Amino acid sequence: MVSKSVAAAIIVTAVLLGHEVDADAAEVKMLCANGMRAVLTELHPQLERTTGQRVTMSFGEAGDLRKRIQDGEMVDVIVLPRLVLDQLLTQGKIVPGTTVDLGQSGMGLGVRTDAPKPDIGSVEAFKRTLLAAKSFARNEGADSGVFMVGLLDRLGIAEQMKAKSTLVRQGFVADLVAKGEVEMAVQQMPELKAVPGVDATPLPPEIQHAIVFCAGIPAAATAPDAVGELIAFLSSPAAATVIRAKGLEPM
């Protein structure tokens, strides 16, 4: 675990030295779950300036990224839901002591900005809104998709939702909402908010589902000594500001 004091010292030193990225800078390769895509995309320039390293990023669904690590892909940092990262840790795929919790994401319902705001202030209201929808989209396979399968079953509306549901394996389900292909969609709040033209409302507290995102260093990292600054920055106050702005709660 990167301690707060060490992280702060690294960041302050980096800022004072005014790192510049040059042709000889180390290349840091990152894999990042889509739930943190908006955050890491905005932080990318700051990451490179602060660390003086060239940072390349690849985004995808958590399950697909887990498989890439299990298959031995050579990357230096990975950002995944804590549950998935812990699985890799127990398999010896993550260096022990390198994991840092970054932010926590909740689930939400997204509709077009020009559509009426949905009434989901209670569990019953959420259930009625879904049943009244003509079309609906959710993830398939990702944490949020697995959660929704169980939630629809608990609400007793799984069968009613099947015929009008579109399942999305990759990317933002809110893209379908913005294009007018579906009426509403459920996904993590940061992923809904990342799509222009879509308004997102958190699910009721009684059925809310929190996902903690965590950074760690894979055992097969190509440059493990070069990523301490990067992970320290991701857990810094500067990064926390962006994390919060993108719909997550910094840890």
What SS3 class is residue 157?
coil
Residue 197 in this model has a pLDDT that exceeds 60: yes
Q: Which CATH class is domain 4-104+212-250?
A: alpha beta
Q: Tell me, what's the pLDDT at 50?
A: 83
Residue 10 in this model has a pLDDT that exceeds 60: no
Are residues 107 and 144 in contact, defined by beta-carbon separation less than 8 angstroms? yes
Alpha-carbon distance of 187 to 182, in angstroms, equals 14
* Sign of CA pseudo-dihedral 64, 174, 205, 39: positive
Instruction: Please state, rounded to an integer, the average pLDDT across all residues of the chain.
Output: 88
Alpha-carbon distance of 150 to 154, in angstroms, equals 6
Domain boundaries, the chain: 4-104+212-250, 107-207
Residues 6+ apart with CB under 8 A from 110: 173, 174, 177, 184, 185, 186, 187, 192, 195, 198, 199, 200, 201
Decide which of 53 and 18 is more confident: 53
The closest of 142, 140, 119 to 131, measured between CA atoms, is 119
Phi, psi values for residue 175, rounded to 5°: -60, -40
Sheet holding 77-81, edge to edge: 54-60, 27-33, 77-81, 211-216, 100-105, 249-250
Decide which of 214 and 227 is more confident: 214
- CATH superfamily of this structure's domain 107-207: Periplasmic binding protein-like II (3.40.190.10)
Q: First CA to last CA across the chain, in angstroms?
A: 14
The number of beta carbons lying within 10 Å of the beta carbon of residue 114 is: 8
Residue 1 in this model has a pLDDT that exceeds 70: no
In this chain, the answer to whether the domains covering 4-104+212-250 and 107-207 adopt an identical fold is yes
